[in-house]
């Protein structure tokens, strides 16, 4: 025993770390913050460590070369003992990390933790969030499959919209004129050296400030933050109603971190690694690129914005959003912390969470994308639509199928969702309106005027006119019924 002590004191005499560490461990925290609500920050830190370790282990095998990356990933998945497991841990760890960082942020926002004197802690946290998302995006590039390739194309296309310097930015991003070897090399550098290095530095400062300034106290309605009195009040609180950080608060952090790592491992074992998908050959165009989970919301936004709003949105919204996050603690550094007294904050958080959820949900089934194979690959038009059809109407059904109408319009429950389902289109549009819509398009529909012969149009429209439930009449033109036409 005394031998251990001697080793310890030999080390500490030289390292000089014992005293400051002990101080940190024993610093008092308010009793009520030793709560399960306060575990997300430490969980994010644990996940960062997990990502670093699994990342280093993957880098032992991964080849960051456009020609070989995809092969080395498949080697990891299928040939190397437990390579799949490490890829899965890293992939799921990334998903968990983005989620935990977002939850952590929502929680500190809700608890008013960004107020005086913790403004800078929040600011660094915002940068840490951006870097976490940056790691998620560059990580998707490391997977170097079709989705990664076209994801880079989308990134480059967004950058190209920047006025004046757009072209140069694209060259910078891609490392050349096209997405190729140079692109993967620079994303590898970002993913492995630049962003993680910055993240570690920022994380150190972030945690340092939490320990030095003390954890945010549990917000109470009426306990208002004032610059002049806050520090004294906080110290009084930790003295009167506090406990030592170790072990009083930290045991919950430890339990939750272990649970999170276990959850990552379970997901890794049960669901396996992500991809890689198809090989990154840009001449294979039979592909439907899709971003990773945390960028699905953006995918939805980009589909729904009107074309003329898109460039301003893409270039201005991120700047405004980040500025708002960074500016928040300076705009509202004093005042109420309790959510009972901050209706606008609650409203803002709910709005963001709900829109994110809805957009992500839409992103998972992409109603805006045509189903490229619906016209050729799916089930035929159900017989019930054709049982009583005349030869012309049947011919129209053939036109409907052959001209890819079904890529955007579903019928009998199968087809794209870009346009409305046509099962009962005849109850909405009259024959004349159908002809007009087919010939001239409109809404989100291209004009088929040049692409169909008059006979095909006649057949198609007569087929469409049969599409109404038996007990519901088809749409009628009021003017025609008056003239008795």
Q: Does 1 bind other proteins (CB under 8 A)?
A: no
**Residues contacting other proteins: total by CB under 8 A:** 73
Tell me the window of 161-169, 189-197, 258-266, 426-434 that interacts with other proteins (CB under 8 A). 161-169
DSSP-derived secondary structure letter, 407: G
Rounded to an integer, what distance in angstroms lies between the CA atom of residue 119 and that of residue 345? Answer: 17
First CA to last CA across the chain, in angstroms?
107
Rounded to an integer, what distance in angstroms lies between the CA atom of residue 298 and that of residue 363? Answer: 8
Report CA 485 to chain centroid distance, whole Å.
Answer: 56
Residue whose C-alpha is closest to residue 400's, from 420, 381, 419: 381
By CB under 8 A, what part of segment 410-429 binds other proteins?
418
Q: Does 194 bind other proteins (CB under 8 A)?
A: no
By CB under 8 A, what part of segment 18-57 binds other proteins?
none
Among 248, 289, 412, 420, binds other proteins (CB under 8 A): 289
Nearer to other proteins, 121 or 404 (CB): 404
Nearer to other proteins, 157 or 390 (CB): 157
Nearer to other proteins, 65 or 95 (CB): 65
Tell me the window of 135-143, 200-208, 255-263, 278-286 that interacts with other proteins (CB under 8 A). 278-286
By CB under 8 A, what part of segment 307-326 binds other proteins?
307-308, 310
Task: Give the angle subtended at the CA of 215 by the CAs of 214 and 218, to the nearest 5°.
Answer: 130
User: In the bound complex, what is the minimum distance in angstroms from residue 74's beta carbon to other proteins?
Assistant: 13
List all residues 6 or more positions away from 123 whose beta carbon is below 8 Å from its beta carbon. 326, 329
User: In the bound complex, what is the minimum distance in angstroms from residue 287's beta carbon to other proteins?
Assistant: 6
User: In the bound complex, what is the minimum distance in angstroms from residue 166's beta carbon to other proteins?
Assistant: 4
Among 9, 35, 79, 168, binds other proteins (CB under 8 A): 168
CB 168 within 8 A of CB 214: no
User: In the bound complex, what is the minimum distance in angstroms from residue 434's beta carbon to other proteins?
Assistant: 15
Instruction: Tell me: cis bond preceding 247? Omega within 30 of 0 counts.
Output: yes
Site pattern 109..148 for other proteins (x: CB under 8 A) = ----------------------------------------
Nearer to other proteins, 256 or 400 (CB): 400
Among 52, 57, 133, 182, binds other proteins (CB under 8 A): 182
Residue whose C-alpha is closest to residue 408's, from 437, 368, 460: 368
Nearer to other proteins, 145 or 217 (CB): 145
Nearer to other proteins, 117 or 289 (CB): 289
Q: Does 158 bind other proteins (CB under 8 A)?
A: yes
By CB under 8 A, what part of segment 431-460 binds other proteins?
439-451
Nearer to other proteins, 83 or 280 (CB): 280
Among 22, 263, 288, 476, binds other proteins (CB under 8 A): 288
Among 27, 32, 161, 223, binds other proteins (CB under 8 A): 161
Nearer to other proteins, 127 or 368 (CB): 368
Q: Does 176 bind other proteins (CB under 8 A)?
A: yes
By CB under 8 A, what part of segment 351-410 binds other proteins?
368-370, 372, 375, 402-405, 407-408
Among 175, 196, 378, 431, binds other proteins (CB under 8 A): 175
- DSSP characters over 155-169: HHHHHTTSTTTHHHH
* φ, ψ (nearest 5 deg) of residue 251: -65, -35
Ordered alpha helix ranges (H), 423-477 = 431-440, 454-465
CB 360 within 8 A of CB 291: no
Rounded to an integer, what distance in angstroms lies between the CA atom of residue 419 and that of residue 197? Answer: 47
User: In the bound complex, what is the minimum distance in angstroms from residue 177's beta carbon to other proteins?
Assistant: 4
Helix, strand, coil % in the chain, rounded to nearest 5: 65, 5, 30
CB 431 within 8 A of CB 466: no
Nearer to other proteins, 246 or 398 (CB): 398
Rg (CA), the chain: 30
Rounded to an integer, what distance in angstroms lies between the CA atom of residue 51 and that of residue 45? Answer: 10
Q: What is the 3-state secondary structure (H, E, C) of 287-351?
A: CCCCCCHHHHHHHHHHHHCCHHHHHHHHHHHHHHHHHHHHHHHHHCCCEECCHHHCHHHHHHHHH
Q: Does 348 bind other proteins (CB under 8 A)?
A: no
Nearer to other proteins, 33 or 401 (CB): 401
Structure tokens at 2: 């005394």
């Amino acid at each position: 025993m005394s031998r251990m002590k001697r080793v310890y004191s030999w080390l500490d005499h030289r390292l000089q770390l014992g005293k400051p560490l002990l101080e940190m461990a024993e610093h008092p925290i308010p009793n009520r913050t030793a709560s399960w609500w306060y575990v997300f920050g430490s969980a994010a830190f644990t996940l960062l460590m997990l990502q670093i370790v699994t990342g280093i282990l993957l880098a032992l095998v991964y080849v960051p070369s456009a020609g070989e990356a995809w092969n080395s990933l498949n080697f990891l998945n299928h040939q190397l003992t437990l390579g799949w497991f490490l890829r899965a841990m890293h992939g799921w760890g990334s998903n968990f990390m983005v989620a935990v960082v977002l939850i952590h942020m929502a929680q500190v926002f809700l608890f008013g933790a960004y107020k005086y004197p913790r403004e800078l802690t929040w600011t660094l946290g915002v940068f840490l969030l951006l870097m976490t998302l940056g790691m998620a995006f560059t990580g998707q590039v490391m997977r170097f499959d079709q989705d990664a390739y076209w994801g880079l194309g989308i990134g480059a296309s967004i950058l190209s919209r920047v006025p004046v310097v757009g072209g140069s930015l694209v060259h910078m991003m891609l490392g050349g004129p096209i997405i190729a070897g140079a692109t993967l090399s620079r994303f590898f550098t970002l993913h492995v050296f630049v962003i993680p290095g910055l993240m570690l530095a920022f994380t150190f400062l972030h945690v340092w400030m939490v320990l030095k300034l003390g954890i945010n106290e549990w917000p109470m309605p009426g306990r208002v933050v004032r610059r002049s009195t806050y520090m004294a009040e906080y110290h009084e609180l930790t003295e009167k109603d506090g406990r030592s950080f170790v072990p009083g608060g930290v045991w919950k952090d430890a339990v939750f971190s272990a649970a999170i790592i276990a959850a990552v491992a379970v997901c890794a074992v049960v669901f396996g690694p992500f991809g890689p998908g198809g090989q990154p050959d840009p001449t294979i165009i039979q592909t439907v690129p899709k971003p990773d989970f945390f960028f699905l919301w953006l995918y939805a936004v980009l589909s729904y914005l009107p074309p003329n709003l898109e460039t301003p949105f893409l270039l201005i919204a991120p700047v405004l959003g980040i500025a708002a996050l960074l500016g928040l603690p300076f705009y509202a550094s004093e005042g109420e912390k309790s959510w009972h007294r901050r209706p606008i904050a609650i409203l803002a958080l709910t709005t963001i969470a709900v829109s994110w959820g809805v957009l992500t949900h839409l992103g998972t089934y992409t109603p805006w994308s045509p189903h490229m194979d619906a016209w050729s690959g799916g089930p035929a038009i159900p017989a019930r639509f054709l049982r009583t059809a005349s030869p012309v109407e049947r011919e129209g059904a053939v036109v409907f199928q052959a001209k890819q109408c079904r890529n955007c319009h579903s019928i009998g429950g199968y087809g794209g969702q870009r346009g409305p389902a046509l099962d009962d289109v005849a109850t909405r549009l009259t024959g004349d309106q159908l002809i007009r819509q087919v010939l001239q398009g409109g809404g989100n529909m291209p004009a088929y005027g040049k692409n169909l012969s008059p006979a095909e149009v006649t057949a198609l429209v007569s087929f469409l006119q049969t599409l109404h439930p038996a007990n519901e009449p088809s749409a009628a033109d009021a003017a025609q019924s008056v003239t008795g036409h």
